[in-house]
Amino acid sequence: MKNLFKTIILLFAASFILTGCALSRSELDLSEAISNDIQTAENEKTVIIDKYTDHRTFATNASSADQPTYDPGAGFNDEVKAKIVGRKRNGYGKALGDVVLAKNLTTEKIVKNIVSKAFSDAGYSVVTEDPNNKAVHVNIDVDKFWGWVDLGFWTIGVQANINYSLDLTYGNKSETINTYVVGEERSAIAVTPGLWKEAYLKTIDNSKKDLSKKIKGSELLNNL
**CB of 69 within 8 A of CB of 146?**
no
Is residue 6 over pLDDT 50?
no
Query: What average pLDDT does the structure give for the chain?
Result: 87
Is residue 168 over pLDDT 80?
yes
Residues 193-224: tens digit of each pLDDT = 789 999 999 999 999 999 999 999 999 999 98
User: Would you place residue 112 in the very low, low, confident or very high pLDDT band (cuts 50, 70, 90)?
Assistant: very high
Can you list the pairs that 169-175 forms with residues at least 24 positions away whose Cβ atoms lie under 8 Å?
A: 169/136, 169/137, 169/138, 169/139, 170/136, 170/137, 170/220, 170/224, 173/220, 173/223, 174/220, 175/218, 175/219, 175/220, 175/221
pLDDT greater at residue 192 or residue 29: 29
User: Would you place residue 188 in the very low, low, confident or very high pLDDT band (cuts 50, 70, 90)?
Assistant: low
- The mean per-residue pLDDT over the stretch 18-33 comes to 76
pTM of the model: 0.87
* Spatial separation of the C-alpha atoms in residues 98 and 85, rounded to whole Å: 8
Q: What is the pLDDT of residue 23?
A: 61
Nearest-CA neighbor of 121 among 219, 44, 43, 209? 209
* Spatial separation of the C-alpha atoms in residues 123 and 41, rounded to whole Å: 11
* Spatial separation of the C-alpha atoms in residues 178 and 78, rounded to whole Å: 25
Q: What is the pLDDT of residue 57?
A: 94
* Spatial separation of the C-alpha atoms in residues 151 and 105, rounded to whole Å: 28
User: Would you place residue 9 in the very low, low, confident or very high pLDDT band (cuts 50, 70, 90)?
Assistant: very low
* Spatial separation of the C-alpha atoms in residues 22 and 97, rounded to whole Å: 5
Percent of the chain with pLDDT over 70: 87
CB atoms within 10 A of CB 113: 19
Is residue 25 over pLDDT 90?
no
